[in-house]
């Protein structure tokens, strides 16, 4: 079977930043896919059926011709390989390396920083209402120990001020690095829009939630200009990478 015509299903959540990276790629490439929204607050990501697709118990998961592909940055490169028209990977090896450095930084630093910065406000108020028995039951099906500990903390011991300060420092460092790289832009990996820009977009859309912590996009003129250009892309709108509201 021609794999480019095989069926594509994306398990995702609308407000999930990792899912948003993948939706943005699919929309840039104008590839048809079936989206299945996973209700994270109903813990559908921990059901046996979902864990059979993604043993980490988180979104997104792409299923292509019946085979699951997991991890958002891996899925993004996979899609670029399988649907090479409208490539989002630079042809020049130096720019490609730059793009991958941003994928790595996003995976290793940015995801965690925004998780710590956001979860006390988004997940904490919900998890703190669980009874001890509910906490035990919910934690017992979370496969990855670090994520199990994060949910335990939301329920009983929210991230500390020191944890938040550390996350804020990493977010500010990210903006400094973006500002630096955009001097040799106009995009994060050079002349062309690429996966590097997509990787950062779901986090920068939420930067306004942290103004009370001294984080302001307007302090970074090249990032602000980059954001204006990126958020004007039709695929960005179609991917629904919108600000997130929560009940603080």
Give the residues lining the site for ligand GSH (CB under 6 A). 16-18, 40, 45, 58-60, 71-72, 111, 147
2 or 39: whose CB is closer to ligand GSH?
39
Between β-strands 8-12 and 61-64, what pairing exists: parallel, antiparallel or unpaired? antiparallel
Least separation in angstroms between residue 45's CB and ligand GSH is: 5
Sheet holding 67-70, edge to edge: 34-37, 8-12, 61-64, 67-70
Residue closer to ligand GSH by CB (options 30, 108) is: 108
Task: Identify the bridge partners of residue 187 per DSSP, sorted by sequence position.
Answer: 190
Between 20 and 220, whose beta carbon lies closer to ligand GSH?
20
- What's the min distance (Å) between Cβ of 59 and ligand GSH? 4
Task: Specify the residue for token string 């490439």.
Answer: 29
**Which is closer to ligand GSH, CB of 89 or CB of 142?**
142
Nearest approach, Cβ of 217 to ligand GSH (angstroms)?
Answer: 21
Closest-approach residue to ligand GSH (CB): 58
Closer by beta carbon to ligand GSH, 111 or else 175: 111
Quickly count: other Cβ atoms within 10 Å of residue 52's Cβ: 9
Contact between residue 50 and residue 98 where contact means Cβ atoms under 8 Å apart: no
| Closest to ligand GSH by CB, 142 or 182 | 142
Nearest approach, Cβ of residue 79 and ligand GSH (Å): 13
Shortest Cβ distance from residue 219 to ligand GSH (Å)?
26
Least CB distance from residue 47 to ligand GSH, whole Å? 12
């Amino acid at each position: 079977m021609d794999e480019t015509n095989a069926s594509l299903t994306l398990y995702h959540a609308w407000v999930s930043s990792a899912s948003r990276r993948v939706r943005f790629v699919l929309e840039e490439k104008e590839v048809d896919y079936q989206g299945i929204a996973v209700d994270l607050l109903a813990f559908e990501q921990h059901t046996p059926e979902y864990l059979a697709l993604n043993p980490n118990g988180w979104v997104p998961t792409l299923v292509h011709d019946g085979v699951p592909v997991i991890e958002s940055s891996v899925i993004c490169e996979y899609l670029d390989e399988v649907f090479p028209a409208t490539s989002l990977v630079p042809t020049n090896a130096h720019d490609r390396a730059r793009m991958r450095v941003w994928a790595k930084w996003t995976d290793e630093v940015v995801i965690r920083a925004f998780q710590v910065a956001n979860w006390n406000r988004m997940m904490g108020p919900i998890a703190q209402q669980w009874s001890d028995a509910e906490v035990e039951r919910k934690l017992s099906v979370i496969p990855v120990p670090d994520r199990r500990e994060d949910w335990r903390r939301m329920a009983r011991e929210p991230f500390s001020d020191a944890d938040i300060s550390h996350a804020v420092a990493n977010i500010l460092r990210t903006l400094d690095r973006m500002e630096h790289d955009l001097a040799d832009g106009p995009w994060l990996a050079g002349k062309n829009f690429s996966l590097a820009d997509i990787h950062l977009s779901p986090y920068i859309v939420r930067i306004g939630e942290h103004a009370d912590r001294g984080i302001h996009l307007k302090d970074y003129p090249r990032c602000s200009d980059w954001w204006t250009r990126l958020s004007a892309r039709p695929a960005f709108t179609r991917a629904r990478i919108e600000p997130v509201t929560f009940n603080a």
